[in-house]
Chain A
Amino acid sequence: MTGTGSKALLPQRKRRRRSGWRGLVYIAPAMALVILFFIMPVIFTGWMSLHNWPLMGGTRWIGLKNYVRMFHDARFLSALQFTAYYTVIATVAIFAVAFPLAIFVEKQRRFVSAYRTIIFLPVVVGLATASLLWVWLANVDSGFIGPALKALGLADKSPNLLATFDGAFLTIVIMVVWKIAGFTMIILLTGLQAIPSELTEAARIDGAGRWQRFRHLTLPLMRKTIALALIISVTGSILAFDQFYIMTSGGPQNRMISVVYYIFNQSFVSFNLGYGAALSIALLAILVAISIVQLWLLRAGEERP
């Protein structure tokens, strides 16, 4: 940067353009990664979705037929329905567990970091590993839950949890809560800790009760954090695949086929990569729409309520 002093006379605009270029250079690596690993694959997927594209053999342009097909595809519609059902139940369950946990570990008390660590531990286990672990736990003969129920006298016979829809669904939801709640808890914890203690004290002096402080102080101030946790949780649930594939291979009588599972089946079991690509684009659109709606509902962009 020699001669900066003389350049001070240059018009403002030119200077701004120069720093604009410098900014571009700084973000170029990130942009390159995003273009290479997100934008290009999406464009290519979109291109594939307009073809009859078998896994082996030649491809054929069919226009929008793949998209038309999905509206009449009963199996896709039931996969959507199941995914929505799972997303609602799993998200509510995760928040119902994670919020109290976050409030519990937020206060300074004895062993609080040990609690945080223990609750967070399942998060670092891979989802596939966790699923396999729970397949074993739920095994009717050599597992833990069924035989334990029998040993405690709560059931006459060790129940086969994964054989019925309700049993398998309950097992999977509990597994997911066990695995994910710690992560949601950490996100909510950062939000809780960001609330200045003066505000809470002021509210207390004004005579606000526990519930009032939570409802009118904590919740509004955590709006952004909750939005983040909610979007992560909802997106994760909509994209659920591992647990259904590993724990129930689609569930008793195929009643646990999530949308991603159906895309996988179309692409790699039936070898219709083109239709799978069209379904992926549809799922992407659904996810973007849901995220926008959530952000709007929680108005995460606004500074203060």
Chain B
Amino acid sequence: MIKRLLAATSIATLCLVSGASAAEKVEMWVRTGVGDAFKKTVEAYNSSHENQVAMTEVPFSELVQKYATAIAGGQAPDALSMDLIYNPAFAAAGQLEDLTDWAKSLPYFNSLSPSHVKLGTYQDRIYGLPLSVETSVFAWNKDLYKKAGLDPEKAPASWDEITANAEKIRALGDDTYGFYFSGGGCGGCMIFTFTPLVWGSGTDILSADGKTATLDTPEMRKAVDIYRNMVKKDLVPAGAASDNGANFLSFTNGKIGQQSLGAFAIGSLVTEHPDIHFGVTLIPGATGGTSSFAGGDNFVITKGTPKMDAVKEFLEYIYSEDGQKIMAKYGSLPTRGDIAGKVLEGLDPRLQVGIQAISVAKTPYTLQFNDLINSANGPWATFTNAAILGEDVDGAFSNAQSEMQSIIDSGQ
């Protein structure tokens, strides 16, 4: 009996082995914190195709250095879902596969998200194509609004209103808070959710050519004041002060009244936390206006991968209507403009706010994004913590301003 069992299992194993060797297995890395859109697409692809995609999730704060180290060590994955702001730097370093000819042969090439393609282009060659699009939006918890005696359907339109609402929600009790942000030196979280306050008011943290740091503006002072005020009034959980991004989606615990988050999170909330009833709107500027951060990932292919055809097949699946539908269901806005309407049909209407945000959204363009903004020890991350939660606001402004400028200058 045991012998027969052994024989059966070994035959089964043999079949599995031979089956796998016929198909290609694409190694792909993706950063954490971007929701489930990509994971679900991979699952759908693997169950319907002979080629398989093996996905590895890498902590978002370490993906860039891990990938760069892996390239240097010859251990890089075949493809990567890369935060699009890093695309120029990697393309410039000559580490990515040139996709120009193939991309231009795609019938829908011209309707792919233009800002992604722009960031994926370096010296007129294309090294990255849009994989996921997300924008930052402001979300509020309708149940808590109701409990606090606020109109759950009315979106707050200014930060005065948000602060007033936060106070009423905080009054509900011990561990219910009015507002949340990841203030423990998470540069990526804060550029995504906090800079829209100054962008909406018409200023920026870098000059248009990216060569001057323009951090210290009245608008930024006002934005910092708004957040400081909410911290001072105890409307924000104490944990925010040391959250380096790990708890970015605290909103999902149902005890946070309001928070700025991304379209990916809308997808996660809708599919995984159906019990949380929430509304979304554009993030108000500190002194009026609205804005958003247009982010997302580009699909890049490591130079010299032997599995080019399999990778392309996978990317074509992502761009198919099926693929786009799955991505959108989990919160990634459609990357193909030509079928966006069809893709979003029947999906959660709140995703439409994410689409609206694209028209007012910005994406900083700098080769030093990691050093300046995203690094947990960079000037921007330090600034957000020091200015909002520290004692010395003026010192925080002048330190960050001069350090950003010196990093920009040393990179010239």
Contact = CB atoms under 8 A, between A and B. Distances in A.
A160 B239 contact: yes
B90 interface: yes
Interface in B55-78: 65, 68-69, 71-72
Contacts of A160: 238-239, 241-242
B321 interface: no
Given A56-B95, A157-B238, A265-B377, A249 B184 contact: yes
B68 A249 contact: no
Interface stretch (A18-26, A88-96, A201-209, A267-275): A267-275
A253 B386 contact: yes
Interface of B: 65, 68-69, 71-72, 90, 93-95, 175, 184-185, 237-239, 241-242, 244, 370-371, 375-377, 382, 385-386, 389-390, 396
A82 to B, nearest CB: 12
Determine chain B's interface SS by DSSP, over half rule. Answer: helix
B242 A162 contact: yes
Interface of A: 54-57, 139-141, 157-160, 162-163, 168, 248-250, 252-254, 257, 261, 265, 268-271
Determine chain A's interface SS by DSSP, over half rule. Answer: loop
A55 B68 contact: yes
A139 B72 contact: no
12 contacts: A55-B69, A56-B68, A140-B242, A160-B241, A162-B184, A249-B376, A249-B377, A250-B185, A252-B385, A253-B396, A257-B377, A271-B65
A268 B184 CA distance: 21
A265 B72 CA distance: 17
Contacts of A168: 242
Contacts of B386: 253
B377 A141 contact: no
Nearest to A160: B238
A261 B377 CA distance: 10
Given A141-B239, A271-B68, 14 more contacts: A55-B65, A55-B72, A56-B68, A56-B95, A139-B239, A160-B238, A160-B242, A162-B242, A252-B385, A252-B389, A253-B390, A261-B377, A269-B377, A271-B65
Contacts of B69: 55, 268
Interface centre among B184, B244, B370, B386 (most CB of A within 10 A): B184
Contact of A56 (B93, B185, B376): B93
A168 B65 CA distance: 26
Contacts of A271: 65, 68
Contacts of A261: 377
Contacts of B389: 163, 252
A139 B241 CA distance: 11
Nearest to B403: A75
